[in-house]
Chains A and B, each alone.
Chain A
Amino acid sequence: MTEGFVTAVNGNMVSIQTEGIVTMNEVAYILVGERRLKSEVIRIRGTSVQAQVYEITKGIRVGNRVEFSNELLSVELGPGLLGQIYDGLQNPLPEIANKVGYFLEPGLYLRALPRDIKWHFTPLLRKGDVLKRGMGIGWVPERYFRHIIMMPFDLYGEWKVIEIAPEGDYTIDEAIAEVADSKGNKRHIRMCFSWPVKRAVDCYSERLKPSEPLVTKTRIIDTFFPVAKGGTYCIPGPFGAGKTVLQQVTSRHAEVDIVLIAACGERAGEVVETLKEFPQIIDPKTGRSLMERTVIICNTSSMPVAAREASVYTAVTIAEYYRQMGLDVLLLADSTSRWAQAMREMSGRLEEIPGEEAFPAYLESVIAAFYERAGIVRLYNGKEGSLTIGGTVSPAGGNFEEPVTQATLKVVGAFHGLSRERSDARKYPSIHPLDSWSKYDGIMPKSTVRYAHSFLERGAEISAMMKVVGEEGTSLEDYVIYLKSEFLDAVYLQQNSFDPVDAAVSPARQRHVFKLILKILAADIRFSDKEEARNFFYELRQTMLDLNGTPQDSDMFNALYNRVDAALVDREPEFDNRGLKLMSTLE
C-alpha cells in the first residue's frame, strides 16, 4: 500500500508527499488522530499529490499520515439499494443517524448495503454457460422488482460458469457462483460488487434512439415539451421559480420503474419533504409506497463540497445499474449548478487557468459526459432499458447566458426554461411556453401541438402590441386570439401541483381535454364587443378550472366537460377547418 504525508492544507484541498505509485482519482485516507478522512486524488505532479477531502479539513496537520487505497471512488451495487437514503459517498444516512444522532460525523463511513438480509436467489444459468460482464446470473426479489444479479461490470472478457448456487436464501457476501476464463483464472461471484462512479457503465450491445415519451403527468411537459425515455432535459430557472417543486412532482408521478433523486448542494429541507412523504404515498400503479421505487442521494448545501461533486456520479451509477436490468430509470438532479460550482471551487484551489465566471475550462465536456450517461440501450439479452436524466440549473442572476446553462443546453434534448415573470404571477409550473423547446415526440400528434402553440405565439404578440396601442387600439379579432391564448395558458399550461386531482394528469385525460381545447381554439365566435368576449372566456375558464379539479371517472367531470362544449356550441361558431381536422387526429 502506498503511503504519504500531508504537506499543505488549503480549504478542502490537501497536498501530499509520497514516493509510491498513485492512481488518478483514487481514494486516499488522511489519518487525523482516530479519524480517517476520505479524499480523492485530483492531481499528481512528481512526488506531490493533491487531493480533495470529502470532509471538513479542520484539525488536519502538516505531517499527518496518508494511506492510498489503490481504488477509485466507487459505489457498491447489489440488492438493497431501493428505498435507501445516501449521502454523496453512498453512506446510508439513517444508519449514521442511528449511530451518532443529529449531526454528521467526519470520518464515519458505513457500508452501503445491508449485510444481514438473506435474499431469495433463483439462478438463471447452468454450469457451462458462458457469460460476459453485465449478464444476468440469477435474480432476487427486491421490493416489487425482479432484481437481476449480474456478472460484475469489471470482469472483462468471457467467463464460463463452473459452479452455481441452487435456489435458496443468501446474503450479498456469500458466493452464488464461480466462473473461470479461458486462461483458467477463477472468480467467486457474490450478489454485490463495486464500480467506479466516474466511469459510465457500458455493458450493453447497442444504444438506441430515444423515441417513446416518458409520461410525467404534467400537461405542459407531456403535451408541449415532452421528454423521451432515455433522453435528457434541463430545467434552468431563477431562484424560487419552481425548479424543485417541478422535480418533486415529477419524481412522484413519472411513469418509470425507478427514480433516483440527487439532491445536490441545495436545501436539506426539500429532501426531507421527499423522504418523509414518499413512504406514505401509495403509487396507484403498483399499490406500493413510492419509496420502494426510489433511491435518494442527498448531499445538501452545508454538507462537504467535494462529496457534492461526487454525489451526481454516485446517483447516475446506481441508475445505470438498474437500467442494466431492463428497467426504465429516471434520474433527477437538483441542482447541476451546485455540482459545477464544486468543480469551480476545486479548480480555483488547484490554481488552474479559469474560464468564464471562473468555471474551469473543462466545464462543458464534463457536463456533456454526464448527460451522455443517459440513454436507451439494448442489453445482451435483447431487452431494453432506459435512463433519463433531468437536471435543474440555477443560473447566477437568473441569466441563461451563463456558462452552466449554456453548456447544458448544448447537450440536452429538451429545455424547460422557468420564467421569473410567470412565477411572480403564480403561473405554475412556470415553464415559459415560448422559450422552451423539446426535440422529442410527445403524447399528441406534433401538428396539434403546433396549432395550439401558434395561439400562444400570436397571443404574446398581440399582448405586447396592446401594451403600446392599448386595448382600444386592438381589433376585436386580435383581442379574441389574445383571450384564447390566455385561456389555453390558464386552464392547460398552468397546473396546480398541490391539488390532488390536478397534480397528475394521465395521457388519456390530457388527450380528452386537449381535444376540447382545440375545439375552442378553432371556434370563430361572433362577439359584439371585447367586454362580451372577455366574459365569455372567463366563464369558460371558470368551468374548465372546476373540471381540472374533478376526477375523470366522475359524473361531475362529464357534466362540466359537456357544459363547456355546450357553451361553445350555443354561440353557433364557425370552425376553422384545420383545427377541426386536427381534432379528429386525437380520436
Chain B
Amino acid sequence: MNKIYSRIESIVGNVIAVEAQDIAYGELAQVNTRYGASLAETIRLDGKMVYLQVFSGSRGISTGDEVRFLGHPMQVSFSDDLMGRIFDGAGEPRDGGPDLTENLITIAGPAVNPYQRIIPREMIRTGIPMIDVFNTLVKSQKLPIFSVSGEPYNPLLARIAMQAEVDLIILGGMGLKYDDYLFFKDTLEQGGSLSKTIMFVHTAADPIVECLMVPDISLAIAERFALKGKNVLVLLSDMTNFADALKEIAITQEQVPSNRGYPGDLYSQLAARYEKAVDFSDAGSITILAVTTMPGDDVTHPIPDNTGYITEGQFYLRDGHIEPFGSLSRLKQLVNAKTREDHRSIMDAMIKLFAAYRDTLEKKSMGFQMSAWDRKLLKYGELFEQRIMDLSVNIPLEKALDLCWETLAECFEPRETGLRSDLIQKFWIGKK
C-alpha cells in the first residue's frame, strides 16, 4: 500500500518537496511526470515536509505531478544474471537486456567492522614495473589514478583490469564520455573479459543525480560477490565527476561550502565509498582502482587532496607515464618483504637516485657545468625512463628487479647507491 501525493510544494535545483506523513529518511519515491517516471530519494525531513532528490533532475516537473512513495530505500537486484550486463546510474538496463527485479538488496549498507578485517597479504601482479616494483598493488587496496585530462588513464585502467588476476570486474562510470564507455566495452570484449564484467555507467549526457548512485550501486554489488567468495576489482572513472555532483547538489541545497565550493563532508562521502575495499577472511575481496582527474593539474585541489588522505596511496599519471614521485602504494611494504629480499631496498635506492637525477636536470637546464657525478646521474635517469618508466614495458617483477640492478651497475659504483653492503655482495652485477 503505497502512499501517493499529487501536490509538489517546491522545486529547487533537483530537489522537490511534498507534504507527506510517516516517510522514512532515505525512502525512495517515484515521480511521474509527462516526460516519464523518475526515482527520487528522501534527503531531508522537516515537520510535514519531505524533501526528495529527483534522479532524473527536476526539469519539466510540474507542481501537479504525482509522487508515489515506495516504502523502501534504494535497492538493486543481485544475482549471477548481472554478469556481462550494462546498467545506468539508476540501475536500469542500458544494454537492451531484460530488467532484473529479483533478490533486491539495499545499497550503501553499514561499514565492515574493523576487527573483522585482515592484513592485506596478496600482491596483484600487473606486469607494469612502475607498479609492481615501486608501488605494488595489493588485493583489497583502494587506489586512485591522479591524472590531468588528456592522459591515457582509461587505457591504463583497462590494461590493469585485463592483466590483473581477479574473478570479476565491476566498472562504475561517472560522467563518462560516450566514446570512453565504448572503449571500455570494446577493450574488455576483445580481451575476453566482458563476460566477467558488470558495468554501471552514467555518461556525461545523463542526469547528474544518477552519477551519485554509481559508486554505491557498484560497491553494493561488489560486496555481495565478495561475500560469496569472489575477488572483485572495482574500476571507477571518474571520481572527480562524482565529487562535482556532490558539490552541485550541496550548493543548490544552500549548504555552507568549506573549500572551493565543496561541502564539508566531502571527505566522509568519499571515504564511505573507498572504505568498501576489503578482504574478507573467509570469503572474497574488493579492490578499488579509481580515476581522479585533477582540475588544473593541482593536487591540492579538494578532490585529489581528500582522496589522497583516504586511499592507500595513488598513481600519478603524467606525460603518459606513472610518476615515480608522488606515486605511492601504502600497502607495498605488506607484500614486498615476501617477493624478493632486495625488493624494498632497491626500490628506495632507485628512487633516491632518480630524485638526484631530477635535481641535476634542473641544474643542467640552468646552464651549470656538469660534474662527473652529474653525468652519471644523467645517464642513469635516461636509462631509468626508457627501461622502467615507459608504460609499454610489460615484464614480470623478478625481471624488473634484475633490470634495476643492471641499470645501477651500468651507471654507478656500489657505494654511490646507498645500498647496504650485504645486498651489494649478493646482487651487484660485475665488480663490487
| A and B: interacting chains | yes
Q: Assess whether B256 is in contact with A354, with CB atoms less than 8 Å apart.
A: yes
Closest 7 A-B residue pairs measured CB to CB? A397-B300, A470-B368, A301-B271, A302-B275, A58-B26, A239-B308, A358-B258
- A87-122 residues with Cβ-Cβ distance < 8 A to B are 93-94, 96-97, 101-106
Query: Does chain B have a CB within 8 A of A252?
Result: no
Interface positions of B from 235 to 278, Cβ below 8 Å from A: 255-259, 263-265, 267-268, 271-272, 275-276
Number of A residues near B (Cβ < 8 Å) is: 80
Cβ of A533 to closest chain B Cβ, rounded Å: 11
Which of the segments A74-82, A178-186, A268-276 contacts the partner chain?
A268-276
The residues in A between 422 and 460 inclusive whose CB is less than 8 angstroms from any CB of B are 424-426
B355 at the interface (CB under 8 A from A): yes
Contacts of A63 in B (CB 8 A): 21-22
Which of A21-29, A166-174, A538-546 binds B? Answer: A538-546
Do B111 and A104 have beta carbons less than 8 Å apart? yes
Expressed in whole angstroms, the Cα–Cα distance for A490 and B313 within the complex equals 25
Our pick among B114, B272, B302, B309 for the contact of A271 (Cβ within 8 Å) is B114
A95 CB, nearest partner CB in chain B, Å: 9
Whether B328 is near chain A, meaning CB under 8 Å from some CB there, is yes
Residue A516, interface by CB 8 Å: no
Q: B-side binding surface: helix, strand, loop or mixed?
A: mixed
Complex interface: chain A residues within 8 A of B348 (CB): 426
Contacts of A587 in B (CB 8 A): none
A344 touching B264, Cβ below 8 Å: yes
Q: Does B93 contact A (CB under 8 A)?
A: no
Any A CB within 8 A of the CB of B330: yes
Cβ of A85 to closest chain B Cβ, rounded Å: 6
- List residues of chain B with CB within 8 A of the CB of A538: 415-416
State which of B9-17, B95-103, B116-124, B403-411 sits at the interface with chain A.
B116-124
A59-B24, A272-B114 are known contacts. Are A546 and B420 too (CB-CB below 8 A)? yes
Chain A residues within an 8 Å CB radius of B366 = 467, 470
Which residues in A have some Cβ–Cβ distance to B below 8 Å? 7-11, 15, 56-63, 85, 93-94, 96-97, 101-106, 238-240, 263, 265-269, 271-273, 275-277, 298, 300-303, 305, 338, 341, 344-345, 348, 351, 354, 357-359, 394, 396-399, 424-426, 467, 470-472, 490, 498, 530-531, 534, 538-539, 541-542, 545-546, 549
A240 and B47 contacting across the interface, CB-CB below 8 Å: no
| CB-CB nearest in chain A for B325 | A424
Within the complex, which residue of B25, B48, B255, B306 is in contact with A348, where a contact is CB–CB below 8 Å?
Answer: B255
Distance of A425 Cα from B333 Cα, bound (Å): 17
Given A9-B45, A240-B313, A426-B351, decide whether A268 and B369 contact each other with a Cβ distance below 8 A.
Answer: no
Q: Mark B123-150, 1 if CB is under 8 A from A, else 0.
A: 0000000000000000010000000000
The residue on A at minimum CB distance from B271 is: A301
CB-CB under 8 A for A94 and B368, given A341-B267, A397-B305, A424-B355:
no
Cα distance A301–B312 in the bound complex, in angstroms: 13
Q: Does B152 lie at the interface of the complex (its beta carbon under 8 Å from any beta carbon of A)? A: no
A102: which of B113, B328, B333 is its contact (CB, 8 Å)?
B113
| Contact residues in B for A9 (Cβ distance below 8 Å) | 25, 44-45
Chain B residues near A (Cβ < 8 Å):
21-26, 44-48, 73, 109-120, 140, 227, 255-259, 263-265, 267-268, 271-272, 275-276, 280, 300-302, 305-306, 308-310, 312-314, 325-326, 328, 330-331, 333-334, 337, 344, 348, 351-352, 355, 362-363, 366, 368-369, 371-374, 415-416, 418, 420-421
Name the contact of A542 in the complex, choosing from B112, B309, B325, B415 (C-beta under 8 A).
B415
CA separation between A272 and B280, bound complex, in Å? 13
With A104-B111, A268-B114 already in contact, the answer to whether A239 and B309 are too (CB < 8 A) is: yes
A261 to B313, CA, bound (A): 22
- 22 CB < 8 A contacts A-B: A8-B47, A58-B24, A58-B26, A58-B73, A60-B24, A60-B45, A62-B23, A62-B47, A62-B48, A239-B308, A303-B111, A348-B255, A358-B257, A394-B309, A467-B363, A467-B366, A470-B368, A471-B368, A530-B371, A531-B373, A541-B418, A546-B421
